[in-house]
Structure 1
């Protein structure tokens, strides 16, 4: 199935158009509140936070999607899942990079994907700070502000800029630091990104050569899987096994660097 085969919304618009409107409207809310104070709550531990703006942006996205596609399910970060009467599910992260957002660091995004069962059909990552919109449609390629994109053309780790994130669990954070330490100094440099969805979009367009994360949720991952795949890249779990929206770990890169990484990690 491709996006062109998807049911249209109640307004008659294509799913892609509805999704783009949703992330842009959420982006307007996010940016309007970015300079000011936010109410911060802790979901689990000391690192996994949510702001009142996450909730407002999520409500805006959900209202539009439910109006246009009332039969579709919804899986979202800040609310309980909503079962649909169809096999389609929207997967929402209203602010990926909430810690950056709360601290005034301008590196975060809105992530939205559409799946039918486990099959990803549409993925969008929107950076409202820079007005950068990354999108992918199954079988149609990946785009940055309507220009086609592709993953890095580098051929080895030695040439590569690596991105990673530590997640919310202290032990997993230590593990990923170990992975990064093992790669250094055999790479160009490393970056802690603070937003997995935006890092995967950066990988899809070649800004990052390789991205690694060891503890993700579906809303962090779904849009990025499709973006990187449609941009000609490779996305697997850390051990090289096929990735799904329910995977915890991810390696995203091109085929040559993936082979180099797996060879080094197994060697």
Structure 2
């Protein structure tokens, strides 16, 4: 897993427009604000080739569709997002990541998210805790939303995004600060280690969330779906982070249309 992350990080940094000489390659629009670059595809191809060679019996599922997953709710499955935060990356913004997870029967067992531009690595193994840059880490100890930094992303569903924006406007200034990431994988990672107190997103794919679910859980946090139950790979929305802050966010948001 770390070999995959190291190779992906090298490739992403070599082509990063935020560095001298970095060339992301051709960029194609998938939707409003949603892009794929030659770099996404090159990193995905390299990582999946490595995984196929080492784990030929495992299924693969990745954002750009190169993996043939089969029945990914059973057995062994690798989930990969080669470049989470493509729009940021393409503009030279360092808030982007590579994320990978190994799941069995739909449950994440290993998860790793790295931020190549900053050198941060967030890793978790089921039952073994959260490790950030080689050191044990955990969620923040934040009892309420009023004391929290709230991280969020808006995704590509305009109607749901508008509801989330409206919710934050209604609750403001009932928190310390609000941050919009542009990388859901990093949003989870920041919530896992206390850089955010709460992270909220209304729609996610399995490759967005698989590593992040495990990171937050192993950091001692709550990871809940849009209905307030435990989040799984099949859940669309998430509220994650410090238990007290997450529960308080859901309390004050109750009755408001935002999910």
The worse-fitting range, judged by mean Cα deviation, of 28-37 and 188-197 is 28-37
Shift, 1:20, TM fit: 0.6
Residue 42 of structure 1 aligns with which residue?
29
The worse-fitting range, judged by mean Cα deviation, of 236-245 and 78-87 is 78-87
Shift, 1:239, TM fit: 2.3
Residue 159 of structure 2 aligns with which residue?
171
Greater than 4 Å deviation, 4+ residue runs: none
Residues 1-267 of structure 1 correspond to what in structure 2 (within 5 A)?
Answer: 19-35=1-17, 36-37=22-23, 38-43=25-30, 45-83=31-69, 87-266=75-254
Aligned length: 248
| Secondary structure at the counterpart of residue 187 of structure 1 | coil
Any stretches of 5+ residues in structure 2 without a counterpart?
none
CA contact (8 A) 1:26 1:110 kept: yes
CA contact (8 A) 2:153 2:201 kept: yes
Shift, 1:80, TM fit: 4.4
TM-score scaled by structure 2?
0.92
| Secondary structure at the counterpart of residue 176 of structure 1 | helix
Any stretches of 5+ residues in structure 1 without a counterpart?
1-18
TM-score scaled by structure 1?
0.90
Q: CA distance change for structure 1 residues 34 and 67 in 2, over 3 Å: closer, same or farther?
A: same
| Secondary structure at the counterpart of residue 252 of structure 1 | strand
The 2-side partners of 1:256 and 1:83 are apart by: 37
CA contact (8 A) 1:72 1:84 kept: no
Shift, 1:67, TM fit: 0.8
Deviation per CA, 1:83-104, whole angstroms, max 9, x where unpaired?
4698100000000111100111
CA contact (8 A) 1:165 1:176 kept: no
Q: CA distance change for structure 1 residues 56 and 219 in 2, over 3 Å: closer, same or farther?
A: same
Aligned CA-pair RMSD: 1.4
| Secondary structure at the counterpart of residue 123 of structure 2 | strand
Shift, 1:53, TM fit: 0.1
| Secondary structure at the counterpart of residue 92 of structure 2 | coil
The 1-side partners of 2:170 and 2:241 are apart by: 18
CA contact (8 A) 1:204 1:233 kept: yes
The 2-side partners of 1:83 and 1:107 are apart by: 28
